[in-house]
Amino acid sequence: MDLASFVQRSEGEWRSMRSGHSLAFQHFEEVLSKISIEKLDVEDPRVKELIATHSELNIEPVSPFRMEWSAESDWEPDDPNDVSAGSCVLVPLPLDEHSGWLLRSVGYAEAEQATGQYRLLEEGTFILKTRYGQSIAEERIWFVSDNVRCRASVLRTSEGSGVLQTSFSSEVRRIRV
Amino acid sequence: MDLASFVQRSEGEWRSMRSGHSLAFQHFEEVLSKISIEKLDVEDPRVKELIATHSELNIEPVSPFRMEWSAESDWEPDDPNDVSAGSCVLVPLPLDEHSGWLLRSVGYAEAEQATGQYRLLEEGTFILKTRYGQSIAEERIWFVSDNVRCRASVLRTSEGSGVLQTSFSSEVRRIRV
């Protein structure tokens, strides 16, 4: 599977069950949310704007897309890490057939613009590493069927190898009525 | 990483945070448990006994091991799928450097002896597919550091491609005092 097919398969409306694990405190978190993924044109002004911030990379984008999410229920309203709704633009800049950079207008671990490195494993798993100011996130996404994706993420401290938290989402495609 | 190294790294005492997702009902399950993994000698009678049930495979075992688990807390005591404590013997029978059969004395999805097919991806992820009477389980295990492993599993109906449930465990090595 190449990146374009991966984005293609991801497009649509998803319902997500997400479990977060805080390892130090053995604390569980559960969030139900809706996710929407839509492809963007490479000429879209939002795509061009993001690329302009990394003109030094000088790589043609492939399959840029936009992600939007909103929590349906949030059982931990006081958790400062929770972002209950948001959207971001993501632009893959391939280095070769299986890896490249991924620009995102809003980060996953911290709410800042971020640049990650992705790899697409032969058997179809997408792996993304993103370095933020305070942390490093590694996300893995794989399809278990056309209508079910899994997403596992690990957050580490940027200094040293301490693992702060992990999370896992089961994403089921929503059928539009 | 080869299979022997993978088993080597897995050996020890682990504390597990496990989240289960029932996709149809959007139901979350949370279990804290202890897991112990110890290598067994290929001449161990428990290993020989398991291999004897699959003498047709006629493959020399590599790095057999025993796993033991017990729930520390189980917040869903009425769930018939919960197995709060148990142990099993696992015997890898490699076909080549990256794949093979895995015999287990007790199954993951159903409490019967089971034979799975494993693959070890180049970047270190161990993938195991096991067919049971009523279901097919796919487990993925990967190390995020020497002392943290992640384990994601997907359970499907054996007929058709329906995904029944997923689960995710964060396993942190326990330091013996």
Contact B26 A17 (CB under 8 A): yes
Q: Which of B17-26, B49-58, B78-87 has the lowest mean pLDDT?
A: B78-87
The structure tokens listed for A116 are: 């990650």
pLDDT at B27: 96
- Higher pLDDT: A148 or B113? It is A148
* Strand residues in A47-105 grouped as ranges (E): 65-74, 85-94, 99-104
Task: Tell me the average pLDDT across B99-125.
Answer: 87
CB contact under 8 A, A152 and B154: no
What contacts A123, CB < 8 A, 6 or more positions away?
A: B119, B121, B127
User: Higher confidence at residue B160 or residue A171?
Assistant: A171
Q: Which residues from chain A sit within 8 angstroms of residue B33, using beta carbons?
A: none
Measure CB to CB from residue B145 to each of A121, A161, A170 and give the nearest one. A161
Residue B162's pLDDT band (boundaries 50, 70, 90)? confident
CB neighbours of residue B60 within 10 Å: 8
**CA separation, residue A2 to residues A5, A47, B7, B154, B168 (Å):** 5, 20, 32, 23, 26
User: Where is pLDDT greater, at B158 or A23?
Assistant: A23
Q: Which of A25, A26, A171, A173 to mutate to test the interface with B (most CBs of B within 10 A)?
A: A26
More confident residue, A111 or B8: B8
Range 48-87 of A in CB contact (< 8 A) with B: none
Query: What is the tens place of the pLDDT at every residue in B68-94?
Result: 999 886 555 555 555 578 899 999 999
- Chain A residues with CB under 8 Å of B144 CB are 138, 154, 156, 163, 166
Asked whether this complex has an ipTM greater than 0.90, the answer is: no
Per-residue model confidence (pLDDT) at position B52 = 93
Cα dihedral B50→B61→B143→A173 (10° resolution): -60
For the record, the structure tokens of A10 come out as 């991801």
Work out the number of other CB atoms within 10 angstroms of the CB of residue B1.
16
Q: Does B148 touch chain A (CB under 8 A)?
A: yes
B1-8: long-range contacts, CB 8 A cutoff, minimum separation 24? B1/B120, B1/B124, B2/B97, B2/B120, B3/B62, B3/B63, B3/B92, B3/B94, B3/B100, B3/B118, B3/B120, B4/B62, B4/B63, B6/B120, B6/B124, B6/B126, B7/B37, B7/B39, B7/B63, B7/B65, B7/B92, B8/B39, B8/B63
pLDDT tens sequence for chain A (177 residues):
789 999 999 999 999 999 999 999 999 999 999 999 999 999 999 999 999 998 888 899 999 999 999 988 655 555 555 557 889 999 999 999 999 999 999 866 666 788 999 999 988 999 999 988 888 999 999 999 999 999 999 999 877 668 889 999 999 999 866
Residue of B nearest to A162 (CA): B145
What local confidence, expressed as pLDDT, does residue A72 receive?
Answer: 80
What is residue B170's three-state secondary structure? strand
The model's pTM is: 0.90
In whole angstroms, give the CA distance from residue A176 to residue B5.
47
Q: Does residue A15 belong to the interface with chain B, where contact is any CB pair within 8 Å? A: yes
Helix (H/G/I), strand (E/B), else coil: B17: strand
SS3 state of residue B33: strand
Contacts of B126 by beta carbon, 8 Å cutoff, 6+ apart: B6, B118, B119, B120, B140, B141, B142
Q: CA-to-CA distance for A174 and B17, rounded, in angstroms?
A: 28
Residue B91's pLDDT is 97
Distance (Å, whole) CA B29 – CA B79: 10
H or E, element range at B113: none
Cα distance between residue B46 and residue B100, in whole Å: 20
Alpha helices in chain A (DSSP H): 3-10, 45-52
Give the per-residue pLDDT at B101: 96
**Tokens encoding A86:** 């948001």
